[in-house]
């Protein structure tokens, strides 16, 4: 968990004297989703927190799908940040949604996220975010511009300072793989939310609206016989410390705005022990030839024709969390991502993926 301590301790702060206690306080609240988790509350210390996280990530994915449907009919939905990373109204909308919901349910737990409201303020785009939140947030009152801006900034870079002791906080990546979001219907992108308690990741939820159940994986299910009963699209993956990693389909392809089905499937990483039999995944910004392993093995994308001196390279995807998702689900055996000199490692790019892979029996190194 050094990654999390390292990243958080270096966040710029507006108030260097503000610290947050580690203990979590439970509140009485109602989560909109009627879906039960695949393990009992007695086994999971943070059951209520995970239940709330599943609900909000589910709704965040639906927000993304709604925005993306209008993306290709209006160029105004696509923005550009100063670092030239594409970002959409959905990116800000997801952060506002998660911040609004979690601050109501767990007001003592701060949020660490990727965006702040500066871009929206300077480009007069707040109304667009307010509009996409209108039907999906649980606020009884009509959301105002100030509500949304404050919610986004609650997770922004200047929102909190952390003391020397391990902290407790939510970590959010609103849309990991924004390039994939913009590219088209087949590219993968992920909404990722994790909870860190006293410096340890204790739960995580990843939602991937474009995930298709077209590849075999090594999983077991309490309702395995129902897995292929209808055509499914999208995946939501959850993990809780000591309770394993599980996945569920987001929706039926014929009813993409319907609710989650109670069909949790246990996830395990691929148990392959032989290099040339493993399924590899690398960033789309990287080539196989740039890796030391390429000196021993060539890469092929043809699964049916992998030679003894070749490895299977799965189609590239945008964002770090997509690759964690592929490994934790068993679709990929391993992903390799080289560290770039001078580039900071950000907690939201890895936190939820780390616990999902770990609880599925994998290892991050």
Q: Which DSSP string do the residues of 9-29 spell out, in sequence order?
A: HTS--S-TT----S-------
CB neighbour list of residue 353: distance below 8 Å, 6 or more residues apart:
192, 204, 206, 320, 321, 323, 324, 325, 328, 364
Instruction: Name the nearest CA neighbour of 25 among 110, 107, 112, 111.
Output: 107
What distance in Å separates the CA atoms of residue 99 and residue 134, rounded to the nearest whole number?
A: 15
User: Active site residue: 55, 58, 88, 91, which one?
Assistant: 91
**CA quadruple 87, 89, 94, 100: dihedral sign:** positive
- 277 CB-side CA count, 13 A: 5
Q: Which DSSP string do the residues of 203-242 spell out, in sequence order?
A: EEEEEEEEEE--S---EEETTGGGTTSS-EEEEEEEEETT
Instruction: Name the nearest CA neighbour of 232 among 199, 202, 265, 203.
Output: 265
User: Active site residue: 88, 168, 178, 249, which one?
Assistant: 178
What distance in Å separates the CA atoms of residue 269 and residue 133, rounded to the nearest whole number?
A: 36
The pairing of strands 279-281 and 310-313 is: parallel
Q: Is 198 a catalytic residue?
A: no
CB neighbour list of residue 295: distance below 8 Å, 6 or more residues apart:
none
Q: Is 122 a catalytic residue?
A: no
The pairing of strands 279-281 and 200-212 is: unpaired
Active site members: 91, 178
């Amino acid at each position: 968990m050094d990654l999390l301590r390292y990243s958080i301790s270096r966040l710029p702060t507006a108030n260097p004297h503000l610290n947050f206690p580690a203990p979590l306080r439970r509140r009485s609240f109602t989560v909109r989703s009627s879906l039960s988790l695949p393990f009992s509350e007695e086994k999971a210390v943070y059951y209520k927190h995970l239940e709330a996280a599943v609900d909000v990530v589910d709704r965040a994915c639906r927000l993304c799908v709604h925005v993306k449907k209008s993306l290709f009919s209006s160029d105004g939905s696509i923005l550009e940040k100063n670092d030239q990373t594409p970002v959409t109204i959905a990116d800000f909308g997801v952060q506002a949604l998660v911040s609004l919901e979690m601050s109501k349910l767990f007001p003592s737990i701060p949020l660490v996220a990727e965006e702040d409201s500066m871009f929206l303020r300077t480009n007069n785009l707040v109304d667009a975010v307010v509009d996409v939140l209108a039907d999906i947030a649980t606020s009884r009152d009509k959301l105002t511009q100030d509500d949304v801006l404050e919610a986004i900034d609650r997770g922004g870079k200047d929102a909190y300072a952390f003391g020397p002791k391990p902290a407790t906080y939510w970590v959010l990546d609103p849309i990991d793989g924004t390039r994939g979001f913009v590219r088209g219907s087949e590219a993968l992108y992920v909404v990722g939310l994790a909870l860190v308690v006293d410096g340890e990741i204790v739960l995580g939820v990843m939602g991937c609206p474009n995930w298709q159940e077209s590849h075999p994986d090594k999983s077991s299910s309490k309702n395995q016989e129902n897995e292929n009963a209808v055509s499914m699209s999208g995946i939501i993956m959850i993990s809780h410390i000591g309770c394993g990693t599980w996945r569920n389909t987001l929706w039926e392809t014929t009813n993409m705005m319907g609710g989650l089905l109670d069909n949790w499937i246990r996830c395990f990483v691929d148990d392959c022990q032989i290099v040339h039999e493993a399924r590899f995944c690398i960033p789309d910004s990287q080539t196989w030839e740039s890796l030391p392993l390429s000196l021993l093995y060539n890469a092929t994308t043809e699964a049916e024709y992998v030679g003894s001196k070749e490895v299977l390279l799965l189609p590239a995807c945008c964002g770090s969390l997509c690759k964690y998702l592929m490994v934790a689900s068993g679709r990929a055996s391993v992903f390799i991502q080289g560290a770039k000199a001078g580039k900071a490692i950000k907690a939201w790019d890895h936190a939820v993926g780390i616990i999902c892979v770990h609880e599925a029996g994998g290892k991050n190194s």
